[in-house]
């Protein structure tokens, strides 16, 4: 696929249509809007809710290892299953789910290129039937925290100056004009961005049909902002799902080795007392 560094991490809608019922394949839908799955999904796909099944529901964190093992086992997924994830908003939370599966060491997990949008736009079949897969056995490894940035690492990276910080939110969130995507709840006390961050909105990595742009286009997009893989990269957004989309692009489509998703993101940084904040467009050169 389009000369990507790791083309094995993407499948097309055609591939899903042909392989969704294969014994060793499990299709999973993960949406921002958790009602979307109920409306109709890829036949045979199971649905995971990001806000109850893919996070710790007590403290702010990703899913603990034992809960992830339980989720996968109850979803009929073993360590050898090919997991294909897709979702709305061009795979926002699908990428979030893939990121977590990689943190816990699942080898073969892929995104359906174009996500739910492309499947619907192509006039394909959807189902309201919820599959009941036979229980499997699953043993996670990790967590591999090399894929994840925590606040102290971001602060250290800022001090060291050798990291590339990529803010993937909208330009208005980056400048501080708005504190959340239009229409969504504000989750921070201050607007702006982490000093030195480059503004490269996540959606710039996608074509109109929801698929990812070619490797050459992606290299030009990120390289034009000085993000070329020669420095470690930390991507962030508001709560970490849009940045997991960019994390996927940088790590698997472009093959950058050192890419971390800062899932604390602006909801954490924008609420810190005394944290440095930059406002305005000074560092923003990627226009919407």
Catalytic residues: 237
- Rounded Cα distance between 209 and 211, Å, is 6
Closer to another protein at the Cβ: 138 or 247?
A: 247
- Rounded Cα distance between 33 and 37, Å, is 8
- Supply the minimum distance, in Å, between the C-beta of residue 11 and another protein: 19
Closer to another protein at the Cβ: 47 or 143?
A: 47
Contact at 8 Å (CB) between 277 and 192? yes
* Max CA separation in the chain (angstroms): 54
Q: Quick count: other Cβ atoms within 10 Å of Cβ 225?
A: 17
Q: Does 242 bind another protein (CB under 8 A)?
A: yes
Segment lying near another protein (by CB under 8 A), choices 17-25, 252-260, 261-269, 276-284? 276-284
Q: Does 207 bind another protein (CB under 8 A)?
A: no
Which of 191, 229, 264, 270 forms a contact with another protein (CB under 8 A)? 191
- Supply the minimum distance, in Å, between the C-beta of residue 156 and another protein: 25
| Distance (Å) of CA 245 to CA 37, 79, 95 | 20, 23, 5
Q: What 3-state DSSP class applies to 246?
A: helix
Looking at the DSSP bridge assignments, the partners of residue 47 are: 29
Segment lying near another protein (by CB under 8 A), choices 74-82, 103-111, 198-206, 259-267? 198-206
Q: Quick count: other Cβ atoms within 10 Å of Cβ 133?
A: 13
Burial class from Cβ neighbours inside 10 Å (0-12, 13-18, 19+) for residue 241 reads buried
Non-local CB neighbours of 87 within 8 Å, separated by 6+ positions: 29, 30, 31, 32, 36, 93, 94, 97, 115, 116
Contact at 8 Å (CB) between 99 and 116? no
Instruction: State both tokens at 29.
Output: 């839908």
**Size, binding site for another protein by CB under 8 A:** 51
Closer to another protein at the Cβ: 154 or 179?
A: 179
Q: Does 49 bind another protein (CB under 8 A)?
A: no
Q: Does 282 bind another protein (CB under 8 A)?
A: yes
Q: Does 132 bind another protein (CB under 8 A)?
A: no
Which of 17, 20, 32, 219 forms a contact with another protein (CB under 8 A)? 32
Q: Does 131 bind another protein (CB under 8 A)?
A: no
- Supply the minimum distance, in Å, between the C-beta of residue 227 and another protein: 19
Which of 107, 128, 189, 271 forms a contact with another protein (CB under 8 A)? 128
Residues in contact with another protein by the rule CB under 8 A: 32-33, 35-36, 39-40, 43, 88-90, 92, 117, 119-129, 169-173, 175-184, 186, 191-192, 201-203, 242, 278-282, 288
């Amino acid at each position: 696929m389009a000369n990507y560094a790791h083309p094995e991490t993407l499948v097309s809608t055609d591939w899903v249509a042909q392989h969704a019922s294969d014994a060793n394949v499990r299709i999973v839908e993960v949406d921002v809007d958790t009602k979307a799955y109920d409306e109709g999904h890829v036949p045979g796909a199971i649905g995971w809710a990001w806000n109850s099944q893919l996070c710790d529901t007590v403290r702010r964190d990703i899913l603990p290892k034992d809960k992830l093992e339980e989720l996968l086992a109850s979803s009929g997924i073993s360590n050898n299953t090919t997991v294909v994830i897709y979702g709305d908003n061009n795979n926002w939370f699908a990428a979030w789910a893939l990121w977590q599966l990689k943190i816990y060491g699942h080898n073969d997990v892929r995104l359906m290129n174009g996500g739910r949008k492309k499947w619907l736009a192509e006039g394909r079949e959807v189902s309201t039937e919820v599959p009941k897969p036979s229980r499997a056995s699953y043993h996670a490894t990790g967590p591999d925290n090399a894929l994840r940035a925590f606040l102290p690492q971001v602060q250290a990276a800022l001090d060291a100056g050798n990291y590339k910080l990529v803010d993937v939110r909208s330009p208005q969130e980056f400048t501080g004009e708005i504190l959340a995507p239009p229409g969504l709840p504000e989750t921070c006390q201050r607007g702006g961005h982490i000093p030195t961050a480059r503004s490269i909105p996540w959606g710039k990595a996608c074509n109109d049909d929801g698929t990812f742009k070619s490797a050459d286009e992606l290299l030009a997009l990120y390289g034009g902002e000085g993000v070329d893989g020669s420095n470690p990269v930390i991507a962030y957004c508001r709560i970490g799902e849009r940045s997991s989309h960019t994390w996927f692009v940088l790590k698997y489509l472009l093959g950058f080795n050192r890419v971390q998703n800062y899932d604390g993101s602006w909801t954490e940084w924008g609420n810190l007392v005394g944290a440095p904040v930059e406002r305005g467009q000074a560092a923003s050169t990627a226009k919407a």
